[in-house]
Structure 1
Amino acid sequence: MTGITTLPQEIISLVADYLDRRDRLRLARTCRMLYHSLIAQLWKKVYIQSNFPHFDFSLHGKRVDIPPDRPIITNTRLEEHAPFVQHLSFHGPFHPKYYAIVFPQLHTLGLYLDTSFHTPCDDTQATFNHALDMSMRAEQHRRRAELIRLNPTIKEIRIQTCEPQPTADFWDAISTTLNHPTRLYVAGLNRIEGETLNSFWKACNLFEEIYCWANNMDFTSLLSQLSFPRLRRISLQSPAKFQMGFCTEEQLAWFQQCPYLTKLHWTFDSYRFPSNKFAEALEQGTWQRLEDLSLDNLNQRDDALAATLAHLPALCCFRLRSSGFGHLTFAILRARLFDTIKVLDLTGILSFTSRMALEVLQECVHLEDFNGVIINAQEIDIEQRPWVCLGLKRLATIIAVDTEASSRKAFEALSKLSKLESLDLGTDVLDVWKLSDIVPESTYHLPWNLEHGLGRLSTLTKLRTVSLLGTIQELVTDEDVEWTAENLPALEEVEGRFSLDTDRQEKLAGILGRRGVLYFDIGRHRTEIY
Structure 2
Amino acid sequence: MATILDLPDEIHLLVGEQLSPKVLYSCIRVCRSFYSAYIPCLWSDIRVKQYKGNSISPDQLRANAHRVETINYSSTLTNDYYTIVYPRLQTMTTSTYFADRKESTFLQVQPHQKVQFARLHPTIRKLSFDQPDCPSREFWEVVETEWKDFESLDLSGVVLEDVVDVFWRVCDRLKRLSLTGVRLSKDLPVLSTLSFSRLRQLTIVKYLWSSKDIPYHNWPLQLLEQVKKSEGLRLLRWDVVDIPFPSHMVMDAFEEGCWSELCELYVGGPSCTDKDLASILRLLPSRRLTCFDRSSDSLGPLTYSCLREQYFSHLQDLRIGRRCTGVSSAMAQEMLTECVHLVSFDVPHIFVRDIATAPKSWGCSGLENLKIYITKQEEDEARWEGQVFRQISRLRRLESLDLQRNPYMYSDTMRPGAIRQLETLDFRLSPLSSTMSNDNHSNIDGNNSCSEDDIRCWSSLVLLQEFLFDGDKQELGLEEALWMTEHWRDLWCICGEFRGVKGDDVGELEKVFREKGISYFD
- TM-score normalised by structure 2 residue count: 0.78
Name the CA shift for 1:416/1:149 in 2 (closer, same or farther; >3 Å): closer
Letter in 1 for 2:424: H
8 Å CA contact 2:424–2:470 kept in 1: the answer is no
Aligned-pair CA distance for 1:380? 2.7
Matched residue type, 1:206:
R
Report the secondary structure of 1:329's partner residue: helix
- Tell me if 1:317 matches 2:291: yes
Cα deviation, residue 481, structure 1: 4.5
The aligned residue for residue 202 of structure 2 is: 234
Query: Which residues of 2 match residues 513-524 of structure 1 at below 5 A?
Result: 513=513, 516=516, 518=518, 520-522=520-522
**Deviates most, 489-498 or 313-322:** 489-498
Q: Distance in 2 between matches of 1:255 and 1:317?
A: 20
Going from structure 1 to structure 2, the CA distance change for 1:282 and 1:29 (only over 3 Å counts) comes to same
> Corresponding residue for 1:188?
157
Q: What corresponds to 2:433 in structure 1?
A: none
Q: CA deviation at 1:406?
A: 3.1
| 5+ long unaligned stretches in structure 2 | 431-451
1:497 Cα deviation after fit: 1.0
**Offset, 1:356:** 1.0
**Is the CA contact 2:340–2:364 (under 8 Å) kept in the aligned structure 1?**
yes
Structure 1 residue corresponding to 2:384, chosen from 373, 389, 406:
406
Does residue 1:365 correspond to 2:333, yes or no? no
Q: 2-side partners of 1:34 and 1:215: how far apart?
A: 44
Structure 1 residue 352 displacement after superposition: 0.6
Structure 2 residue aligned with 1:73? 57
Q: Contact 2:196 / 2:227 at 8 angstroms: preserved in 1? A: no
The 5 A counterparts of 1:423-438 are: 423-429=401-407, 431-438=411-418
Match of 2:496 in 1: 496
CA shift in 2, pair 1:93/1:354, >3 Å: closer
- How far, CA to CA, are the matches of 2:93 and 2:227 in structure 1? 26
Tell me by how many angstroms 1:511 deviates. Answer: 9.0
Map 1:79-478 to 2 at 5 A: 79=62, 81-92=64-75, 99-112=82-95, 116=100, 140-163=110-133, 165-190=134-159, 192-193=160-161, 195-217=162-184, 220-221=188-189, 223-241=191-209, 242=212, 243-269=215-241, 272-312=244-284, 313-348=287-322, 349-380=324-355, 384-402=359-377, 403=380, 404-429=382-407, 431-439=411-419, 441=421, 443-451=422-430, 453-454=453-454, 457-458=457-458, 460-465=460-465, 467-476=467-476
SS at match of 2:169: helix
Change (3 A) 1:297 1:502: farther
Letter in 2 for 1:346: I
Deviations 1:340-382 (A, max 9, x none): 1011000121321111111111221222221111111212355
Q: How many Å separate the matches in 2 of 1:423 and 1:22? A: 21
Q: Distance in 2 between matches of 1:74 and 1:519?
A: 26
CA distance in 2, matches of 1:24, 1:491: 15
In 1, the alpha carbon distance for the partners of 2:468 and 2:20 equals 28
Identity of aligned residues (%): 24
Q: Is the 8 A contact 1:461 1:490 kept in 2?
A: no
User: Alignment RMSD, CA only?
Assistant: 4.1
Q: Show the counterpart of 1:127.
A: none
Displacement of 1:275: 2.5
Q: Aligned partner of 2:260: which letter?
A: Q
Q: 1:316·1:341 contact (CA, 8 Å) conserved in 2?
A: yes
Aligned length: 486
Report the Cα distance in structure 2 between the residues aligned to 1:114 and 1:519, rounded to whole angstroms. 17
Distance 2:394 2:80 in 1: 58
1:280 Cα deviation (Å)?
Answer: 2.5
Cα displacement (A) at 1:412? 3.4
Q: Deviations over 1:401-451 (max 9, x none)?
A: 13423322322332343443332211133643344435495x321111344
Q: CA deviation at 1:250?
A: 2.0
- Write the letter of the residue equivalent to 1:237: V
Amino acid at match of 2:208: A
1:320 Cα shift?
0.9
User: Is the CA contact 1:270–1:299 (under 8 Å) kept in the aligned structure 2?
Assistant: no
Q: Distance in 1 between matches of 2:401 and 2:276?
A: 34
Inter-CA distance 377–70: structure 2 relative to 1 (3 Å threshold)? closer
TM-score (norm 1): 0.77
Write the deviation string for residues 264-314 of structure 1: whole angstroms up to 9, x where unpaired. Answer: 222113554333222332444522212222111242443444345442451
Paired residue type of 1:385: K
Q: Which amino acid aligns with 1:180?
A: D
- Local SS of the residue matching 1:503: coil
5+ residue gaps, structure 1, are 52-67, 122-132, 523-530
- Alignment of 1:509 with 2:509, yes or no, is yes
Contact 1:411 1:454 in 2 (8 A): yes
- Higher mean Cα deviation, 20-29 or 173-182? 20-29
Is the contact between residue 189 and residue 213 of structure 1 (CA under 8 Å) also seen in structure 2?
A: no
Q: CA deviation at 1:235?
A: 2.0
What is the deviation of 1:49? Answer: 3.6
